[in-house]
Each structure stands twice: as C-alpha cells, then as structure tokens.
Chains A and B, each alone.
Chain A
Amino acid sequence: MKRIAGTTLALLTLACFVLAQGTLSINGAGATFPYPIYSKWFDEYHKKFSTIQINYQSQGSGAGIKQVTEGTVDFGATDGPMNDEQLKAYRDKHGSGILHFPTVLGAVVPTYNISNVTSSLKFTPEALAGIYLGKITKWNDLAITGPNKGVSLPANDIVVVHRADGSGTTYCWTDYLSKISDEWKSKVGKGTSVNWPVGLGGKGNEGVMGVVKQTPNSIGYVELIYAIQNNTPFGDVRNSSGEFVKASLAGVSAAAEGAAKNMPDDFRVSITDAPGKIAYPISTFTWLLVPEKISDAAKRDALKGFLNWMMTDGQNYTEGLAYGKLPPPVVAKETKAIAKIQ
C-alpha cells in the first residue's frame, strides 16, 4: 500500500515536470467586459497554435492594470484606459512604457429584472443618473414612466446593482454619467472604482448579471453580450441627438466613427455620449495592455502574432458575440503600432 502510494506520488511529480516542456504559457488578467470574446479568441487561437496557451483571467479592469504594472501577468486588459498617473507608475517601475491596443467595441447596457416587463424600457440620461444617485427610488417614478407610456411599471423600490471590484465597465458607465449629469460628476466622479451612493455590489460583469437575474426589481449595467446570453431585457438610452437608441453593433460603430478618424497615437479615447443620430451613447473601446518591452522572445513573438490574428481573423468572431468590429482606420494604425513592442 505504502509502496503504491509512494510510486504514484513520484510518477505524478515527474509528470508535472515532463508536461512542463513544450508549451508556451502566457498569462493575462483584466476586464470582464470582453471576457466572452477573449475566452473565445484564446480558445480558437490555441486550437490553431497548439503550443501557445494564452490564459486569460477575468478579474476586472482594475486588477488588469494593477497586475500588469506589478509584472505578475504578461498582459492586461481594461475598458477604462490607464490614466497618465498609472502610465507614469508603470514607466517608473519597468523603465519602459505600456501600450494600449483596442480590440473590440462594446456597449454597456442598463439591464433590469422587473416582473411582467419583458420589453425594452426607454431611459433618459436624467433617469439613469437619478437612479444611480439614489434620488429616483421607485420604478413608477415619473422620470422612468414618462418615456415609457404603455408599460405598467410597479411601485416597487429599485434595487440598484453596481460593480464591487475595479471595473472598466464602471469607468465607461461613470464616464457617461459624468458627461450627462453635473451632480454625478461632482458627487461621485468617474473611475474604475467609485464611492457609490446606493446599491449592491457584484463581482465582475458576471456577478452584476447574476445579481440582477436573481433579484426582482433590480437594475444593473453590463456589457451587451451578458444581457443577451442571459435573456434579460435591457433598455434603450437617449443619445445626445435626442433619439432613444437600443445598443447594437450599428449604434456602437456609429459612436466610434468620430474617434476612428481622429484616433490619438496611444489609442486612449472616450466615445461615450458621442454625436450622431444612431450612435449608442454608452459605448466604449476595450484595450489590451501590452508592455513595450518584452524580454522573453518567445512570448513577445506569440503576443505580436496574436495581436495580428486578433485584428484580422479574430474580428470575425465579434459580431456573433455582439461586439463591434474595430473600424478599419484603427486597425491600420494598430498594425503599425505592433512594431513598437520590442
């Protein structure tokens, strides 16, 4: 008995070392916003190149920024671009910079769980800000019922759900709220982690979706694909042109049009509340954070290879998962930027 146990132990340990050869493992962590498409991409890429394993952990944009700065992961991912302070911190720590690479376009939608309401409610910016500030507390408040004549909304309390972790989705949501509500801007501000006036916290887009799905009379903000995959209704939002727009690929691409033409070199741009008749107001790019200097040649080549694949073949998977493709001018600019990775 003891001998069997001993040999098994020895064999297992040996196996662990043997299996360690041959595969290149790259680790990344960050945004939950694009997790559905990233997990699809890395899975497909592994099928294509079986010796390259890109392990992506959906932890939230905040964790993505922090861990890539610490150097504990090879790349990060975020929907809230790193601010100048964070970029400087990275440069100070590593001696070289970090690059943002947009991957897809996405929409943040207000999704809700109200019994007997399966249609898309129309939300004005004031309604959304009021709900998240805690000033609008019941579903049958005028601000909500106003644009939604014909839908019977209950007199129940609104259960507000937000992110408990550092999130790029939060960044996009609060960026939008800061643009359309001065009160929000001064009271709460925008960021990946804010001091929420009200609400329950969920971990990750998945967590927020989970809480909304299980809590009656709740509202939360999630990336479009999460609402679709979970068959929960989500609302139309009124954009800066006065139109109530439902989140869609067309709406997101329209929001990115202006930015696509004038994309800054570091690709950090906000496209919330964009002008345009069909533009969806709560849209955002999401970025991969790749260090400028990667000392491991194999990893560097693998990452560069992936980035190229991502911008060509990878974009074919976006629409199936309700993410918007990168606009062609952005792709062209990015392809040139890949050369910066040394």
Chain B
Amino acid sequence: MTSRLRWRKFVSGFMLTMTGVCALISVSVLFLILGYLVYHGGISISWNFFTKLPAPVGETGGGMANAIVGSGKMLLLATFIGVPIGFLGAIYLAEFSGATTAFVVRYAADLLNGAPSIVIGIFAYALVVLPFKHFSTLAGGFALGLMMIPITLRSTEEFLRAVPHPLREGAMALGASKWKTIATVIVPAAYRGILTAVLLAFARVAGETAPLLFTALGNSFWSRGWNQPTASLPAMIYTYALAPYDDWHRQAWAAGLVLLVLILVINIVARAILSRGIAVPRS
C-alpha cells in the first residue's frame, strides 16, 4: 500500500468519524435541552403552578393556571380557524382545481407559511386588535390560526394526492358522485396523514410567542369569554425569564417543561400515527 493511499484512507476514516461526531453533537443538543428543562422545571413544578393565578409582583406562591387555560383557548380557536380552511382548501387543490388555481393557492400558502411569526403578529394587531379596540383571545387565536393554515393545507393536499387512483376510480365506477367519493373513500383513506398534519401544525403554533405579544397581551386574572386579553404559557415564560425575581424564574422553567413536554408528546404521537401505516401505500 503506497503512503498516498494510506493517507487517503486515514483522511477517509477521520472525516467520516467527524461526521459521526457532528451527528452526535446535534442529537445530544436535544437531550441537553430536555435534561436542563427536566432538572430545573421538575423541581419547580408544584400544585400551585397548575392551579393558582399569578401573585402580585414580588410575592411568591403564584401559578400559571390562567396561562394554561388561555393557551388552551387560543389553540382551540386556532384549530377551528386553521383546520377547516386548510383541510377544505386542500380538498379543492387535490380534487377539483385546475393547474393555475392550484399554483396560485399553493404559492399563497407558501408565502403565508414563510412569513415570520412577528409579521403575522403585526397583521393580527392591525386587523383584529385595532378595529375591535381590544386585545383579546380572539386576536391571539386568529394569529395562531393563520399560521396553522398553510401547514394543514399543504400536508393534507399531499396525503390526499397520495391516495391511489384505483380507489377513486373504483368508487366512481360504482356510481358515487365526486363529493361522495371524497367524503367516504378518499378522506378516510388519507385520514392518518391528515390527522398527523393537524397535530404537527398544532404543536408548531402551541409554542409561538411573538404573534401573541400584540394580540393576547396578557392577564393577571382569569380571562372570560373571547374578547378579553389572556395570559398564555409562551408569553409568561418570556416575561418571567427576563424579570429579576427568582420565584418567577422557577415558574418559567416549570412552564417551559410543561410546554416542551406537550409539544414533544404531540409530535411523537403524530409520527406514531403516521408510521403505524397509512391505510394505503404511497404511489
């Protein structure tokens, strides 16, 4: 073996090991994050955290009960906005539309998807908060819903298209009209993928903070109805982390842990649903 070959072999082994190191570093970051959150958040989670309202500044014993509920309400609203539009829009793209409309709609969805979340926040502020003269759960939910639309739209369209043609044609040959085919054959066939898409979109917006800064504002009490400002987990983490009070820092860790666990669980469940097997193989 010539020395040149020995060198090339060494370089090869070395570089490939380095790539392994890169992969290791990248993956270990996830576990570091989880580790820190579990450690710092774990010791701060208490019954108070889940059940109490925030205490006056400087006093201890407060919690984030209203933030948890507030986040829940806004996510609920976001789902009601994002999923129907994304889902029905995707049905149009996959089943009815011509090439130009499809291109335009997809292009718009990509634009919306790529918009930085702070820009979505500006939009919701100008569109919902200013005219209605209210910071509100509605505005926050609207902003989050906007962000859910493109994710749901594109993924649902993909999964609908993936349903193989023989299934469609079979249904139609049996005399079903188009919409009936869609409702009873195609959508059920793609439902796993669609559910995954919805869950992933939900997890994505659950952690968003920037759009909430100008829409939901915040609330030290329970937020009633949909027209009042509301606290939310991400916004509380943001506020508490930057404040000087140790008690608030502890609460921020706890909230971070709760939020992260929620998001990771949804992600894992979504992927499990998908890998359990799409009802029909991809063509």
Binding site for B on A (CB under 8 A): 9, 12-13, 16-17, 19-21, 23, 25, 27, 29, 35-36, 39-40, 42-43, 46, 53, 55-57, 59, 70-73, 202-204, 206-207, 209-210, 213, 225-226, 229-230, 321
Contact = CB atoms under 8 A, between A and B. Distances in A.
Contacts of A17: 225
Contacts of B159: none
B218 A57 contact: yes
A209 B220 contact: no
Given A57-B220, A59-B217, A210-B242, 7 more contacts: A27-B229, A53-B221, A53-B222, A55-B219, A72-B134, A229-B244, A229-B245
Contacts of B133: 70-72
Contact of B221 (A13, A29, A46): A46
A57 B221 contact: no
B243 A207 contact: yes
B58 A55 contact: no
B135 interface: yes
Interface in B50-84: 55-58, 72-73, 76
A206 B228 contact: no
A210 B239 CA distance: 11
Contacts of B130: 70, 72
Given A72-B134, A229-B58, A209 B76 contact: no
Interface in B218-271: 218-226, 228-229, 239, 242-245
B129 interface: yes
Chain A at the B interface: SS class:
helix
A27 B56 contact: no
Given A23-B224, A42-B220, A43-B56, A55 B242 contact: no
A25 to B, nearest CB: 5
A187 B168 CA distance: 74
Nearest to A17: B225
Contacts of B76: 9, 12-13
B244 A210 contact: yes
A16 B228 contact: no
21 contacts: A12-B72, A16-B226, A17-B225, A19-B224, A25-B221, A25-B223, A27-B135, A35-B57, A36-B57, A39-B220, A55-B218, A55-B220, A55-B221, A55-B228, A57-B219, A57-B229, A72-B133, A72-B135, A204-B242, A209-B244, A229-B244
